[in-house]
Structure 1
Amino acid sequence: MTTTLTTAAHAQALADSDARAKAMVDAMTLDEQIGLMRTQAGFGLLSLGIPLPPSVPESMRKSTPPGALGSAGYVPAVERVGMPAQQMSDASLGVGNLGGFLRRGDEATSLPATLALAATFDLDLARAAGDMLGAEAHAKGFNVQLAGGVNLTREPRNGRNFEYAGEDPLLAGQIVGAQVAGIQGRHVVSTVKHFALNAQETGRFVHDARMDEAALRESDLLAFEIAIARGKPGSVMCAYNRINGLYACENPFLLGKVLKGDWKYPGWVMSDWGASHSLAPSLAAGLDQESPQDEPYFGGLKAAVERGEVSAERVREAALRIVRGFQSVGAIDHPATPGGAIDKDAHAEIAERVALQGMVLLKNDGVLPLATKVRKIVVIGGFADRGVLSGGGSSQVMPYGGHFLDKRGREGIAAVLSPVYGLSSPLEALRALRPDAQIIFDDGGDPARAAALAKDADLAIVFATRAEEEGMDALSPGLPYGQDELIAAVGAANPKTAVVLETGNPILMPWLSKVGAVLQAWYPGQRGGPAIARILTGEVSPSGRLPMTFPATMEQLPRPQVPGLDPTAKRAPLGLGVKVAPFALDFPEGADAGYRWFERTKARPLFSFGHGLTYTRFGYSKLAAQGGEGLSATFTLTNTGERAGAEVAQLYVAPPGGVHRLAGWARVELAPGESRQVTITADPRLLLSWDAKAGGWSREAGAYDLYVGKAAGSRDLPGKAKLTAATQGASR
């Protein structure tokens, strides 16, 4: 349980926390302060007996350090002054346990993909998901969660998009900020990451992401600014890539000017694992903590202080920021201790709620929900008889109840780190909800056999999966292992075919016209099987909305091919052993990522950002727009269908001469026939633009075009509102 403090009480609590942090740091020796700034790997692979290829870094080969719990990172305690050890676990989708070998046999609640969380458009649920994650981490002894993926999903083939919250800065910032606040309410520090412009995995260690300041401020940096303002994370993790020529972790503009200067961020900056490239320049830029790598630069920190290259005051500042982060969330007064109680059922309920609200019904020609007269159903493919897929990489969770791996096409370390299927069977859940129906299963290995079974069924449900993982971007925008051909064959045999997609990214759908329904289930987490079944049968009406645009073709994108990606080159999870020559990564879309690019180019996507169907219908009417110092829209929303449902009404606003931006939304639940007056107030940050000449924010006076609708571009209720000019920096 968390409590909300008044503004004055919150300010006093921060002041008290800061004073205690200063006292603790000033009681430390120089060596102890430096010790806080150097993370070591919290695990070692040699002691586990795993065969290691040469590409595995030396820092991962040693034995687990004494005192470490077996996780991504560890910093020993400074017991003399009461500073606990920093026990850092990968997170976002649950308490991570990469490959299941960091902590043998340790399982955790598996949350759905963060894209699913973003698709809920529900900030209260995002906070509840963070609360669950923080509680579980604390009970396992972890006091730092490497959660909070804010990177905008600019590249729909990015292997790590499933960890992020979509392409829009307002949605991503608010959802991740709420999740971070939930984690930290359990006395566990959370990061936000990867700061910034870490838009693809290909070449992530070497590419130079290039974007002008105005575009960067209005998009990716805005997402981080919103997340930090809402979640107040104890730490920010800087990214691997360069930004405009300089590595993110030694970038004075990014860390010094923006984060610690303009935003006055009080916490500490940690590097991603192995992402630091210097000592004095990194410290001068704003890096406070070096995370594990084979050639540590911070290992020479004391000698640099003694030579006068780095001041002792800079070391104290970095240590203070770290201790302040711990003090601010109560991690020192409420230490995390292994062996705490975990309410697995309650946590699984949270995961199921995210799955239910995050699934997006993309298409439905009356096939769903399953009618009572549907008595013969064939379920095909996707390991639906056994479980549901999750994303791979450092965020991998070993779900309660067990798992299995799909090792097709993988060998060596890639096979060990295969993405996990949790044992939550959609087939079993469907049979439990529809005991009156004959439900048979086919593995989908033979499209002709599956099509023949579908032809004789009242309904066919094809489960299709595509694994995404850290370190690898998708070679193709389609489904692997012949699943596109399988769906096309089944759809041709029976137009009453529903497709359930377990993917971590948009995909192309060459078979779309042949099937009757498509449900985007993402990676649905701990209770993914029952959640999918409840949506298919109509026990729960779908209410998710797309946090990413689904393109119709790759040619519609700013970059039709992934820059730097060689389809013939070796690919490995986490990017281990993959050498890519440095290259420039340009962003012609600038601030207009995702749906804004589609509006700018007048391209028609397969499915728009914000799109999602329900089992009922909603009507919009009577728009009244108010301008002046701010902007809001009031309208009437009516459930015109025959069953209860939830609508996500979205407000889009375009400044004079610009494209529309999501400025706010309202998630509204209505009974059949019920109407409600709804007001959406535009977030004032989305009404401002960066003035490159003046070096600050401004708002142009004049008429702002707006619309309220079901999705980007839907324009159910178009309108205009006149706004007055704003002074630079207003409303931020």
Structure 2
Amino acid sequence: MTPAIVAEQAAAAGDAGREAVANRRAKMLVAAMTLPQKLQQLTGAKPEILPELPQCFGGRHVSAIAALNIPTFRITNGPVGLGQNDCVSPEVANKPLTIPGFGVISAAYGHPSSAKATALPSATAVAATFDPAVAARFGEVIANEMNQLGLHVFEAPGVNLARLPILGRNFEYFGEDPYLAGAMATAEIKAIQDRGLIAMVKHYVANEQETNRMQIQETVDRQALRELYLLPFEMAVKDGKVAAVMCSYNYLNGQSACENREVLTDVLRGDWKFSGYVQSDFFATKSTVATLANGLDHEMPLPIHWAPEKISGALGSGALNEAQVDTALVRRFTQMFKAGIFDRPVVHQPIDFAAGGKAAREIGARSVVLLQNNGALPLNPAARSVVLIGKASQVYAQQAVAGGSVVGEPMGGGGGSSDVVPNYTVAPIDGLRQAMTDGSRAQLVLVDDDNRTATVDGKPASFAEVLALAGKAEAVVIMAGTVAEEGADRATFTDASGHQLAAPAAAGSTLDWYARRSNHIATTTGDNVARNSRTTDMIAALMAARSTSGRTMAAKSVLVLKDNAGPSLPASLVGPRGPAILEAWLPGQEDGNIVADALFGRTNPAGKLPVTIPLTGKGFLDRITAAQFPGVVGSDGKTQTVTYSEGLAIGYRWYDANADGRCGVVAGRNPCVAFPFGHGLSYTRFALGQPRLEADAAKGTWTARVRVSNTGPRTGAQVVQAYVTLPPAPGLPQPPKRLIGFARLDLAPGASGEAAITLDPGASHHPLSVWNEAEKRWVIPQGTFKVWLGTSSAPADLALAGTFTR
């Protein structure tokens, strides 16, 4: 840490040059350490007051070693802002906290007294922008606040896929497509690491289920593993140069993810040349020797399996050697040196909450998806009367919504890893009233689960009176959705073991299903009963009400969805007889403003769906087997095995492939799909010209191009998407198409621009390749490739740009 070597690192050319100097510094440091010091640095510390920050009681750090100038190494959770950021009130130092899956642990890991930060829109919302620049802005906000709070590692982004629409953590991820997830994650990683911090991509790998996640055995064939579930991690490593990877709780193909040599060493370091370090998810480590020997570098949050006495015992028996300890430390110290963590003090400064809130609002504005509009939108800010309607048992119309939101509880009390404690929130009714010329003309209506009684601005009313009020109103805004959280999936089980479903899995993807605590397994009896809010019945009654305002209910009603990853929708809501529908995801602290901006046209919705929204009763979840979710329990009565038997057919690929024989495309539309992946409308209109495909023989690439014109009255954005259909490869099945690129164009009225998407066979996402497990390599099949351009994954929204043969 002499000035000379610090200066040498700063002056080094490029990422590789800086890392080479950082690696030399790391080796010098490890050579100067005693064995007890090395063992102390292998794991997180027990919760303690931080020496540099005595106002912080923390449990997400590695303790400092002052004699070696090693600072306290501080870690914060994510992925939707700084949650659980190693700083809760010292007053809760000895208080316990119960977390599902972990039991009773220290309040240091999740107490709502955590240092405040900006509660951003969900990661799924960021994915809906189809704009890496927004993902970079998202990462910039997080990085700035990390530096203000003296933090070093951001445990995100999460790039697991929305294989199951009811997955409890979908909102933390980027949707159902691996390329989209990888592209957005890469932009976020770069923004974070460019500011002297460590990003940690997670959860590695096949962690697409929360139910019994600590013990679940996931079986995934290698082709699906490579082409889907590993792909966004590969992009994060190769394109994002991510400094750290978090291994997951689950078992994968027979081995615990945190001791799985195939993925931790053979794939991650062998195939991808990853030079960073691997940290365990909290309490995910299941052994001492196998984890360290097979590629894990850092155990969090406590010295459990890597406690000094256990590592010392393994060293004494010869099961491990000190060189393996050194390797693990050098990997982490290298990234710490590279990020400058050794070279700056640990500080704690005030966060600029106004700047964070402004960014959150702008990010949310670009994420809203207009699914359909039957004339209701945008609303008139001078409206004489607007009624905001939601369920009394649900948060959507009452509070700003984030993961784990619970009626009557402040934001930051739920969400698991995504708990973020903001210093303010904007409620939906406040957002509406502030956007209107006369906010007193907006009323909040909350309806009970039985659709019998209600309150209007807190005063009792019957549901019949609500229908009459909606009939008279100039505009009706209905809010509904699907709140989810780490620790459980949106499903009903026979008991808290989570072994057997008591209701179809698809029930959890509807607007009706809810449980009091989304981080606990929901059951038919007990403390966390799965309930029916009868939201869809309420919406149907509202749409059938007699309108006395001079406009039909469909022409004046808006359904605002706030959800985890796209609910299933009844066919009655889709089409000209249904309301306008806005998808706002989980908007975070600026909820009320983000939604009001879109409703009243202060912003023009331009988001696109990163997930498929099926019709109720016709989705993937309506067809899955117990082996696919929640898994089959073995003869021991404990081991639960999930088989990804759908292979490559997840999300839009499942619907495209007509996987169950009932979803064949008719007139360019899929009869099982309400709104396809990539879909999103606007308050303006766009016209696409004739797409074309150009080859660059010198580079071995192709570029798909199309002219886009804004033919409507407002400035807006259109996202052009490129898909490729691969030729058949014997023994290597493929879905009808895969997303391989996208381009977002912001255009003024009357303006035009060209979307140009390059297809590079050598790119990290392997756009033309399939994984051949027999040959253990990526191969490009022989035959004719078709490239499509358009505005969603639906065939009716795509046009053939061209073909080529290899």
Q: Does TM-score exceed 0.5, indicating one fold?
A: yes
Q: Aligned partner of 2:744: which letter? A: R
Match of 1:695 in 2: 776
- Structure 1 residues 500-541: Cα deviation after superposition (integer angstroms, max 9, x where no partner): 111112212225145321111111122121111110001110
Match of 1:28 in 2: 33
Match of 1:157 in 2: 166
Further displaced range: 274-283 or 164-173: 274-283
How far apart in 2 are the matches of 1:317 and 1:426? 52
Match of 1:679 in 2: 756
How far apart in 2 are the matches of 1:230 and 1:566? 33
Match of 2:104 in 1: none
Match of 1:424 in 2: 426
Q: Is the 8 A contact 2:43 2:303 kept in 1?
A: no
**1:390 counterpart (402, 421, 429):** 402
Further displaced range: 629-638 or 288-297: 288-297
Change beyond 3 A, Cα 1:89–1:677: closer
Match of 2:465 in 1: 449
Match of 2:802 in 1: 720
TM value normalised by structure 1: 0.86
Shift in Å at residue 147 of structure 1?
Answer: 1.6
In the alignment, structure 1 residue 10 sits paired with structure 2 residue 15: yes
Match of 1:242 in 2: 251
How far apart in 1 are the matches of 2:303 and 2:219? 28
In the alignment, structure 1 residue 199 sits paired with structure 2 residue 208: yes
Q: Is the 8 A contact 2:559 2:582 kept in 1?
A: yes
Match of 1:324 in 2: 334
Change beyond 3 A, Cα 1:617–1:66: closer
How far apart in 1 are the matches of 2:303 and 2:324? 24
Match of 1:623 in 2: 691
Shift in Å at residue 205 of structure 1?
Answer: 1.4
Further displaced range: 484-493 or 455-464: 484-493
- Structure 1 residues 441-489: Cα deviation after superposition (integer angstroms, max 9, x where no partner): 2123334332221011111001114320111111222224232222222
Q: Aligned partner of 2:564: which letter? A: G
Change beyond 3 A, Cα 1:41–1:453: farther
How far apart in 1 are the matches of 2:569 and 2:682? 21
Shift in Å at residue 121 of structure 1?
Answer: 1.1
Further displaced range: 557-566 or 675-684: 557-566
Determine helix, strand or coil for the equivalent of 1:17.
Answer: helix
In the alignment, structure 1 residue 477 sits paired with structure 2 residue 514: no
Shift in Å at residue 260 of structure 1?
Answer: 1.3
Determine helix, strand or coil for the equivalent of 2:566.
Answer: coil
Q: Is the 8 A contact 1:64 1:70 kept in 2?
A: no
Aligned length: 677
Shift in Å at residue 81 of structure 1?
Answer: 2.1
- Structure 1 residues 259-284: Cα deviation after superposition (integer angstroms, max 9, x where no partner): 11111111111111111111111112
How far apart in 1 are the matches of 2:412 and 2:321? 52
How far apart in 2 are the matches of 1:692 and 1:608? 31
- Structure 1 residues 387-415: Cα deviation after superposition (integer angstroms, max 9, x where no partner): 3111039xx9xxxxx972799xx9xx99x
TM value normalised by structure 2: 0.79
Determine helix, strand or coil for the equivalent of 1:606.
Answer: strand
Further displaced range: 634-643 or 427-436: 427-436
Match of 1:184 in 2: 193
- Structure 1 residues 12-44: Cα deviation after superposition (integer angstroms, max 9, x where no partner): 222222222221222112222222211245479
Match of 1:60 in 2: none
How far apart in 2 are the matches of 1:375 and 1:151? 46
Match of 1:570 in 2: none
Q: Aligned partner of 1:442: which letter? A: V
Determine helix, strand or coil for the equivalent of 1:443.
Answer: strand
Determine helix, strand or coil for the equivalent of 1:651.
Answer: strand
Shift in Å at residue 656 of structure 1?
Answer: 0.6
Further displaced range: 175-184 or 106-115: 175-184
Consecutive unaligned residues of structure 2, counting only runs of 5 or more, are 1-9, 86-96, 98-106, 449-453, 455-462, 492-507, 515-532, 546-552, 631-635, 659-663, 665-669, 729-733
Match of 1:59 in 2: none
Change beyond 3 A, Cα 1:640–1:7: farther
Further displaced range: 601-610 or 384-393: 384-393
How far apart in 1 are the matches of 2:19 and 2:586? 38
How far apart in 1 are the matches of 2:741 and 2:693? 13
Map residues 539-578 of structure 1 onto 2, 5 A cutoff. 539-553=602-616, 555-557=618-620, 560=623, 563=626
Q: Aligned partner of 1:673: which letter? A: G
Match of 2:559 in 1: 499
Map residues 29-428 of structure 1 onto 2, 5 A cutoff. 29-40=34-45, 42=47, 69-71=56-58, 73-97=60-84, 102=111, 104=113, 106-292=115-301, 295-299=304-308, 300-338=310-348, 340-371=349-380, 374-381=383-390, 386-392=398-404, 404=410, 423-428=425-430
Match of 2:435 in 1: 433
Further displaced range: 476-485 or 212-221: 476-485
In the alignment, structure 1 residue 588 sits paired with structure 2 residue 641: no
How far apart in 1 are the matches of 2:720 and 2:11? 30
CA RMSD of aligned residues (A): 3.1
Shift in Å at residue 676 of structure 1?
Answer: 1.8
How far apart in 1 are the matches of 2:774 and 2:345? 48
Q: After the TM superposition, which parts of structure 1 deviate over 6 Å for at least 4 consecutive aligned residues? A: 63-68, 417-422, 564-567
Q: Is the 8 A contact 1:390 1:422 kept in 2?
A: no
Q: Aligned partner of 1:404: which letter? A: P
How far apart in 2 are the matches of 1:670 and 1:213? 43
Shift in Å at residue 306 of structure 1?
Answer: 2.3
Change beyond 3 A, Cα 1:611–1:72: farther
How far apart in 2 are the matches of 1:349 and 1:563? 45
Q: Aligned partner of 2:605: which letter? A: P
Match of 1:512 in 2: 573
Shift in Å at residue 7 of structure 1?
Answer: 11
Shift in Å at residue 231 of structure 1?
Answer: 2.6
Shift in Å at residue 6 of structure 1?
Answer: 12
Change beyond 3 A, Cα 1:560–1:580: farther
Change beyond 3 A, Cα 1:631–1:11: same
Shift in Å at residue 717 of structure 1?
Answer: 1.9
Shift in Å at residue 558 of structure 1?
Answer: 6.5
How far apart in 1 are the matches of 2:166 and 2:16? 43
Q: Is the 8 A contact 2:136 2:187 kept in 1?
A: yes
Determine helix, strand or coil for the equivalent of 1:697.
Answer: strand
How far apart in 2 are the matches of 1:355 and 1:683? 32
Consecutive unaligned residues of structure 1, counting only runs of 5 or more, are 45-62, 397-401, 568-578, 725-732
Identity of aligned residues (%): 33
Change beyond 3 A, Cα 1:693–1:406: closer
Q: Aligned partner of 1:150: which letter? A: V
Change beyond 3 A, Cα 1:272–1:563: farther
